[in-house]
Amino acid sequence: MTPRLTIINGPNLNLLGTREPQIYGLTTLAEIEATCRVKAAALSLSLAFHQSNHEGVLVDLIQAAITEADAIIINPAAYSFTSVALIDALKVFPGPIIELHISNIHARDELHRHSITSSAATAVICGLGPFGYVAAMQAAAELLRTR
């Protein structure tokens, strides 16, 4: 059976490429998704790729992944620093969870420095820019193979 990967992107990531390019770069979310689809094929993974600006929709996506995915990669964006609802939903997911941040949150301002959602993650990748998605996919594939 083909391993199933769900990638979930939080608020404002639909604005990648134009939003604070000095922090997030010029790559759009559509370009990231296209790269992820190529990588998923190379890793023999099925891929669902989502983005929402709404916390409840993100919770619904995580809950759906319980039956629809074997691993989650999540870039909770601003909800990384505020969302107990995402933490609670992630804690129910039985497979590997990789939290992803395009920027190095540890080098950012105090508001963007401490992710509370990482307490529910298997691993965290940050600061690699858009390549972080590829790195997270490789890590997810390896975690699924060694389970």
First to last CA, the chain: 14
- Backbone region of residue 66 per phi and psi (left: phi > 0; alpha: psi in -120 to 50; beta: other values): alpha
Tell me if residue 106 is catalytic: no
Residue the block writes with tokens 């080098």: 107
Residue 79 known to be catalytic: no
Q: Extract the tokens encoding 2.
A: 């083909």
Q: Write down the catalytic residue from 24, 50, 112, 133.
A: 24
Residue at token pair 């389970």:
147
Catalytic residue among 79, 101, 112, 133: 101
Catalytic residues: 24, 101
